Amino acid sequence: MISFISKRLCVAFCVCLTVSGLSFALMFLTGDPAIAIAGSGGRAEDAEAIRIAYGFDRPVTVQYLDWIGSALTGDLGQSIYFNVPVTEIIGNRVGVTLTLGFISFIVALAIAVPLGVAAALRPNGWIDRIALIIAVSGQAIPSFWLGLMSIVVFGVWYGLVPISGAATWQGYILPVVVLSYYAIPELMRITRSGMIDVLSTDYIRAAKAKGLPMHLVISRHALRNAVLPLVSLAAVQLGQLLSGSIVIESVFALNGLGRLAWESLLRSDLPVVQAIILILSLLYVLLTTLADILNAILDPRLRGAS
């Protein structure tokens, strides 16, 4: 187990290095950053002055090491647009996204897993059919439309919840509903199919033959095996939810990471974009590594492999 975890962490570290290199390279892929900062009306001398001021005249490797070194100490540079530290800007916006993402994730799991299990217990039964309708509609309805409609119905017509912003906790209700509705279908379908596969195995029949009551057969024997594919998917989903949805945040006027990334792109505020990409990539690496470790805890066969 320890060797498994250390191997996974080594792989994760290598991925992190690659990701940091790529997000650093972004700065230069979009053209000369000095000219971008100087603006369309900037003169050549201005660009040259900027190049020296920002250190763009140094060799790329030195710049990279400098950047990664300060990133490691928590300094992600200055925003070109606001001229304040990037960490400060991100720090102001990340809370909304994290709150929304985590709550939506928990709500989605709490609905998707029991529903998937219930659907698998009686395939083509009425629960299964309702679950299918939820899944299909969840995947078919665009979240911006659902978001706008829910604002119109619950915010404007009935006045039950605030129509925008995150000033109060009520402001999170509609975004959480819409975002978790987006996450539920995949989570539920993978729970269902995993569960159906597991329920037809011999060891489930053997567990029943031991006289275990059905709830133990499901919780102890079936679910543990059925959630293995779910864990991997859930890690990716959580990554998506935590990285902030531009659509949801725009529709509900929430100042989260998704919106920040989009605004920064429009403003060519590259240090911010760079930092967001780096943070989100590292978040994905962290989550998938955690998912792998969790799966190895759940399934002893995985510990020996890789």
CB-based contact 150:178 (threshold 8 Å): yes
Residues with Cβ < 8 Å from 13, sequence gap 6 or more? none
In the list 208, 229, 263, 294, the residue contacting other proteins (rule: CB under 8 A) is 208
CB-based contact 115:127 (threshold 8 Å): yes
CB-based contact 156:168 (threshold 8 Å): no
CB of 249 to other proteins, least distance (A): 39
Residues with Cβ < 8 Å from 111, sequence gap 6 or more? 180, 184, 188
Binding piece for other proteins, criterion CB under 8 A, among 33-41, 48-56, 214-222, 257-265: 214-222
Taking the least distance from each CB to other proteins, the nearer of 225 and 243 is 225
Taking the least distance from each CB to other proteins, the nearer of 80 and 223 is 223
Taking the least distance from each CB to other proteins, the nearer of 28 and 122 is 122
Bridge partners for 85 per DSSP: 78
CB of 9 to other proteins, least distance (A): 23
Residue 17's CB is within 10 A of a number of other CB atoms, namely 11
219 binds other proteins (CB under 8 A): no
Binding mask 273-302 for other proteins (x = CB under 8 A): -------------------------xxxx-
- Cα 121–chain centre separation: 30
In the list 30, 168, 201, 306, the residue contacting other proteins (rule: CB under 8 A) is 201
211 binds other proteins (CB under 8 A): yes
Tokens of 25: 């390279």
Taking the least distance from each CB to other proteins, the nearer of 43 and 301 is 301
Binding mask 154-193 for other proteins (x = CB under 8 A): ----------------------------------------
197 binds other proteins (CB under 8 A): no
Binding piece for other proteins, criterion CB under 8 A, among 21-29, 41-49, 198-206, 256-264: 198-206
Q: How far apart are CA 63 and CA 47, in angstroms?
A: 18
In the list 221, 254, 270, 281, the residue contacting other proteins (rule: CB under 8 A) is 221
**What 3-state DSSP class applies to 81?**
coil
25 binds other proteins (CB under 8 A): no
In the list 224, 243, 249, 266, the residue contacting other proteins (rule: CB under 8 A) is 224
Q: How far apart are CA 306 and CA 223, in angstroms?
A: 24
CB-based contact 253:162 (threshold 8 Å): no
CB-based contact 294:233 (threshold 8 Å): no
Of 248, 269, 128, nearest to 199 by C-alpha is 128
What's the longest Cα–Cα distance across the chain?
A: 84
Residue 151's CB is within 10 A of a number of other CB atoms, namely 21
CB of 300 to other proteins, least distance (A): 4
210 binds other proteins (CB under 8 A): yes
In the list 7, 145, 152, 205, the residue contacting other proteins (rule: CB under 8 A) is 205
Q: Residues in the site for other proteins, rule: CB under 8 A?
A: 201-203, 205-214, 216, 220-221, 224-225, 298-301
